[in-house]
Amino acid sequence: MIKTAYASSIGRIRESNQDFVQVFKNKSDVTLAIVCDGMGGHQGGDVASTMAVSHLGHNFKMTDFKDAVLAHKWLDVQLNSENETILKTADRFPDLNGMGTTIVLAFAFKDTALIAHLGDSRAYSYADGNFVQLTEDHSLVNELVKMGQITKEQAKHHPQKNIITQALGVSSTIDPEFCEIDLHANDIILLCTDGLTNSLSDPQIQQILATRDLSLQDRCNKLINEANRLGGGDNITVCLIWNKEDESK
């Protein structure tokens, strides 16, 4: 049984929250969770992130597929269409010029999950006590790390840390990354914006996810509260997808 919870915070410094998160179900009861981190323009960031989540979610609710192969094909078309829509909207309205958004999402099926992303919003899995990053940031600093020019530690404070190499609404072409994972009983998938991972380390996040006496929503709230307490320099958004064990068995 798939359970979800999410929370979002403006943080302690930003004047507006340009993150957007929502969870949807289609006609076959498949869950789709989407997290976006908007960027650019006076109001552009929140417009782009809201557009991406709302449009994808609305279209998903009308589908009835229930496997990852069809989800992958559907999402390829949807992401390219949404990219074009955001670009055209930014061209039409001067105050939205330059807007775009990162996106990370997860489809939860019976035994598998399909993850897709553009940008530096991330997906993690917490399974059997192991906390694993499922996505690789589409960012300049991550490219520099991969080339061996800087270390992961240096990347955290690099002056060009915010330069994203892939996003919706930035270029006429996109190349989203997909990964499919097995989904076992009590596995948790975390989707988040970089406001969380800039403030909390992997062990800190893992410790909160492992706290079983907290409800799923309480774990979301605690992740947000801790990220604010330890920094809060950006908007912070988290979404948890829990494959809850069927207690009737």
* Three-class secondary structure of residue 177 per DSSP: strand
Query: Is 142 within the bounds of a domain?
Result: no
Query: Is 248 within the bounds of a domain?
Result: no
pTM of the model: 0.95
Query: Is 224 within the bounds of a domain?
Result: yes
Its domain, for residue 228, covers: 2-136+166-243
Please give the Cα distance from 117 to 56 (Å, whole number).
13
Number of domains in the chain: 1
pLDDT tens over the chain, length 249 residues: 999 999 999 999 999 999 999 999 999 999 999 999 999 865 789 999 999 999 999 999 999 999 999 999 999 999 999 999 999 999 999 889 999 999 999 999 989 999 999 999 999 999 999 999 999 999 888 888 888 888 777 777 777 777 899 999 999 999 999 999 999 999 999 999 999 999 999 999 999 999 989 999 999 999 999 999 998 999 999 999 999 987 644
pLDDT of residue 41: 60
- Candidates 222, 205, 243, 187; CA nearest to 7 is 222
Q: What is the pLDDT of residues 128-142, one digit of tens each?
A: 999 999 999 998 888
Query: Is 185 within the bounds of a domain?
Result: yes
Query: Is 141 within the bounds of a domain?
Result: no
Query: Is 156 within the bounds of a domain?
Result: no
Q: What is the pLDDT of residues 30-49, one digit of tens each?
A: 999 999 999 986 578 999 99
**CATH number (domain holding residue 82):** 3.60.40.10
